[in-house]
Chains A and B, each alone.
Chain A
Amino acid sequence: MYIKGVGMTKFDYSQRAWWDFAYEAAIEALEDAKMNISQIEAIVFTGMSSAAGGEHQTHKVSFLSDLFKTNVPIIETPSVCGGGGVAFWTALHLSGFKNILVIGSEKLVDNQSDIVVDWILSAAERVIEQTEAMIFPAQNALIWQKYAEKYGATMDDLSLIAFKNHSNAALNPKAYFYKRPLDLEKIKNSPVVASPFRLMDCSLSINGGAAVIVSTEESDIKVVGSGFATDYLLTFGRDDITHFKATKIAAKQAFEEAKIKPQNINVAEIHDAFTSVELISYEDIGFAEEGKGNELIRSGKIDLKGSMPINPSGGLKAKGHPISATGLAQIYEIVNQLRGKCKERQVTNPKYGLTQNIGGAGGSVTVHIFEKI
């Protein structure tokens, strides 16, 4: 399968309707693909819903039919933060269609943060874990504590990840932190939210949309590897609590299909919902040996001017994390990097790009590999 076009809105807190984010991203993708909607034979959509409930819509497929004036099959594949990747994976595995439009959009942040956070927390287990205060920052802070205890990584390593991603986002016009870089000291001294995590270790819940058109017809970008795996919702019921097994499985599937190695990747977008998740993912994907992810961030190799930049878009951390749209926004960045269209944040001559999108705390993970033809 090939990528014909990509689109993405700016990630922000604007209070446009959920479908407006979807529509803008889809139109950009169609224009990028030099197509119109009549050439789309199926649509895959992913999204949560409005936190405050004003725009709750559980029949989005019919809404999208109305919006795009089409009667093609439309399916919805919700998988919270991993929804974009799962929708894309679904499109790749749908047979019998030439052009499929994949859309992710969220207008999740439409109320005070207590309400929005509570809605996001429905992506974790409510009765057993949430009641015991296993909110996402706590969950990842506890995973990190066990990881750090096992391998000796430090909070300074995580601050370097936040610094890198904020520096990259400052160069991305569609990122929330565009033209607003943060200095390392400010990151290191931000308030502690869930010890040892500070505010600047956490990504940014935001609104936005992204879209990708996949096609059986050849284009300049080929999807050469695709992997998808799931894992238990209760993070601490898993065998190894210091790594994400679903990422390991999905990455293995994607690399085997692509017939390349992690060292062949030139640029990657990794799911940095928390700085620790990015670091652990270096190892789960195969960019670093187990326990040596901190060496990768310390080396500068994954900085924008390094040999394999990670999260040149600014990542979820500083571009922003509109939940279901994130996975497709990662593909938007990689496609544009492979095409050499990223201006100030352009990576030098990449051939292979990778995206890793996670739902919840490693509960559903997709890994995709793209090749510039």
Chain B
Amino acid sequence: MFYKCLKCNKTWPYNIKKCPFCFEEIIKVQSNEMKILACSKINIPTLLHPKVPYFTLLVEDENNNKYAYKSSTEKKIGEKITYNKEDNAVAIWRKKYDSEEAIRKTLDLINNPIQENIKILILPTLISPNHEYFRDNTSPNFIDSVLKIILEKTPKENIKIIGQSFNDVPIEASAQKSGLLDACLKYNIIPEDLSKDIFIKQNNLEISEQAINADLIINLPIMKIGKISATENLFKLLSKNSYSALKYLHSEPEEIIIKQINETFSNKVLTIAEADNVQGIDKFNRYLGLVLASKNYLEIDKVFDILTMNKKSHRVLENININNISIVGRDIEEVQHNTENIC
């Protein structure tokens, strides 16, 4: 993606807002064709790129913009880089300063499942009254970008943003402190507390009626190393009572909830996961710079676990074979790095 001044045609790789020469608006220019100009095989590991060998490519797009591209496989000069699209895959894309474009790209790679004029329930991560930099809650910029994209498909009246607190902190406090509230208010949408919703009992679990009635649930987890962030965020569709009972009475509550979520919502959950600066097990953040999207939230958690090279995987991910997951966009090897180190 490049950013171009319409008047003077100067181009930037950064998402600037105005040209410093003309003060004109900037337009986005997609790179649709990437031709390889040069390729270097790298044999020395670095913190960001621990697995060697790999290949650093110099590529050029149809507008003569040149840039770097990491590849896990050797490429020939003149060869073009192309991407497969697949409905049921996990899409991985680099953010590179622009959340909106990365989200658009991941959705495109899974043949955008957001249909026109449907009822959408958006479920951001809202768990603590902390500033954005803690990376506890979905970032304002991320939900802003998602709302912008969704509003191109369906009217505001069809969109609800929900959250539910499973502790004593009201979601309003988390939304306000994290800046998420302001991002939603920009579109005149006020996040709703799901605990005030009606819950319907299904197999001894109480599940939100709004969620059951929605055409699509957009799950917006902020990913955290060592956790099943995409999966756990969906637990907020249960009533607090249901969740608490399971948590304290069962040794493997996640499996029970996952089974019920799959039964109730089958094919109507779309997860768009934020994995930019991700919180580590020690609560310090690591830079990853990614967006992931899939209709399968568990597969997103598995892919994230692999690409952060996490050594203590959550129990529910152990039986998922990464080789059985279709990946589109960037390969795991291209974006994977050892997040044990803060860098």
Q: A residues engaging B (CB < 8 A)?
A: 114-115, 117-118, 121, 126-135, 137-139, 141-142, 145-146, 191-197, 234, 236-237, 241
A135: which B residues are within 8 A, CB to CB? 42, 44, 46, 49, 56
Q: A138 contacts B40, CB within 8 Å?
A: yes
Max chain B CB contacts within 10 Å: which of A130, A139, A241? Answer: A130
Q: B residues engaging A (CB < 8 A)?
A: 11, 13-14, 37-38, 40-49, 54, 56, 58, 65-70, 94-97, 287, 289, 335, 341, 343
A236: which B residues are within 8 A, CB to CB? 58, 66-68
Q: B46 contacts A132, CB within 8 Å?
A: no
B49: which A residues are within 8 A, CB to CB? 133, 135
Assuming the contacts A127-B289, A133-B49, asked whether A191 and B40 have C-beta atoms less than 8 A apart, the reply is no
B43: which A residues are within 8 A, CB to CB? 191-194
Please name the residue on chain A nearest to B12 by beta carbon.
A237
CA distance A141 to B46 in the complex (A): 17
B14, B45, B47, B67: the one contacting A132 at CB < 8 Å is B67
B65, B68, B287: the one contacting A133 at CB < 8 Å is B68
- Sorted nearest first, the 4 A-B pairs with minimum C-beta distance are A138-B56, A134-B68, A236-B66, A133-B70
Assuming the contacts A127-B97, A132-B70, A234-B13, asked whether A194 and B58 have C-beta atoms less than 8 A apart, the reply is no
Please name the residue on chain A nearest to B276 by beta carbon.
A127
For residue A134, give the distance in angstroms from its CB to the closest CB of chain B: 4
Please name the residue on chain B nearest to A193 by beta carbon.
B44
CA distance A71 to B241 in the complex (A): 67
Max chain A CB contacts within 10 Å: which of B38, B65, B70, B335? Answer: B38
A115: which B residues are within 8 A, CB to CB? 47
CA distance A195 to B70 in the complex (A): 14
CA distance A146 to B287 in the complex (A): 31
CA distance A131 to B97 in the complex (A): 12
Q: B58 contacts A146, CB within 8 Å?
A: yes
A133: which B residues are within 8 A, CB to CB? 42, 48-49, 54, 56, 68, 70
A126: which B residues are within 8 A, CB to CB? 287
B96: which A residues are within 8 A, CB to CB? 127-128, 131
A197: which B residues are within 8 A, CB to CB? 40
Please name the residue on chain A nearest to B337 by beta carbon.
A131
CA distance A131 to B46 in the complex (A): 11
For residue A274, give the distance in angstroms from its CB to the closest CB of chain B: 12
Q: How many contacts A-B (CB < 8 Å)?
A: 103
CA distance A115 to B343 in the complex (A): 9
For residue B11, give the distance in angstroms from its CB to the closest CB of chain A: 8
Q: B66 contacts A132, CB within 8 Å?
A: no
A121, A129, A193: the one contacting B68 at CB < 8 Å is A129
Q: A194 contacts B56, CB within 8 Å?
A: yes
Q: A131 contacts B40, CB within 8 Å?
A: no
For residue A34, give the distance in angstroms from its CB to the closest CB of chain B: 46
Please name the residue on chain A nearest to B45 by beta carbon.
A114
A130: which B residues are within 8 A, CB to CB? 48
CA distance A193 to B49 in the complex (A): 14
B68: which A residues are within 8 A, CB to CB? 128-129, 132-134, 138-139, 236
Q: A237 contacts B67, CB within 8 Å?
A: yes
Q: A134 contacts B97, CB within 8 Å?
A: no
Q: A141 contacts B66, CB within 8 Å?
A: no
Please name the residue on chain A nearest to B71 by beta carbon.
A133
A142: which B residues are within 8 A, CB to CB? 38, 40, 56, 58
CA distance A117 to B49 in the complex (A): 12
A146: which B residues are within 8 A, CB to CB? 37-38, 58
- Apart from A139-B68, A193-B43, list 5 A-B contacts with CB within 8 A: A128-B68, A130-B48, A133-B48, A134-B56, A142-B56
Q: A145 contacts B40, CB within 8 Å?
A: yes
Q: B42 contacts A138, CB within 8 Å?
A: yes
CA distance A127 to B261 in the complex (A): 36
Chain A to chain B contacts (Cβ below 8 Å), 12 pairs: A114-B46, A128-B97, A131-B48, A133-B48, A137-B42, A139-B68, A141-B40, A192-B43, A193-B42, A194-B43, A195-B41, A237-B67
CA distance A125 to B187 in the complex (A): 34
Q: B94 contacts A131, CB within 8 Å?
A: yes
CA distance A196 to B70 in the complex (A): 17
Q: B69 contacts A132, CB within 8 Å?
A: yes
A121: which B residues are within 8 A, CB to CB? 46, 48
CA distance A134 to B58 in the complex (A): 9
Please name the residue on chain A nearest to B94 by beta carbon.
A131
Max chain B CB contacts within 10 Å: which of A234, A236, A237? Answer: A236
For residue A243, give the distance in angstroms from its CB to the closest CB of chain B: 15
CA distance A241 to B56 in the complex (A): 16
B41: which A residues are within 8 A, CB to CB? 192, 194-195
Q: B44 contacts A194, CB within 8 Å?
A: yes
A128, A138, A194, A195: the one contacting B13 at CB < 8 Å is A128
B95: which A residues are within 8 A, CB to CB? 127
CA distance A145 to B36 in the complex (A): 12
CA distance A114 to B48 in the complex (A): 9
Please name the residue on chain A nearest to B290 by beta carbon.
A131
A129: which B residues are within 8 A, CB to CB? 67-68
CA distance A135 to B48 in the complex (A): 10
Assuming the contacts A133-B70, A237-B67, asked whether A118 and B54 have C-beta atoms less than 8 A apart, the reply is no
Please name the residue on chain B nearest to A199 by beta carbon.
B44
CA distance A132 to B72 in the complex (A): 11
Max chain B CB contacts within 10 Å: which of A121, A126, A127, A133? Answer: A133
CA distance A129 to B46 in the complex (A): 14
Q: A118 contacts B46, CB within 8 Å?
A: yes
For residue B52, give the distance in angstroms from its CB to the closest CB of chain A: 10
B70: which A residues are within 8 A, CB to CB? 131-133
CA distance A62 to B58 in the complex (A): 44
B343: which A residues are within 8 A, CB to CB? 118
B66: which A residues are within 8 A, CB to CB? 236-237, 241
Please name the residue on chain B nearest to A195 by beta carbon.
B41
CA distance A319 to B320 in the complex (A): 53
CA distance A126 to B288 in the complex (A): 11
B56: which A residues are within 8 A, CB to CB? 132-135, 138, 141-142, 194
Assuming the contacts A118-B343, A142-B56, A236-B58, asked whether A131 and B289 have C-beta atoms less than 8 A apart, the reply is yes
For residue A200, give the distance in angstroms from its CB to the closest CB of chain B: 14
CA distance A129 to B49 in the complex (A): 12
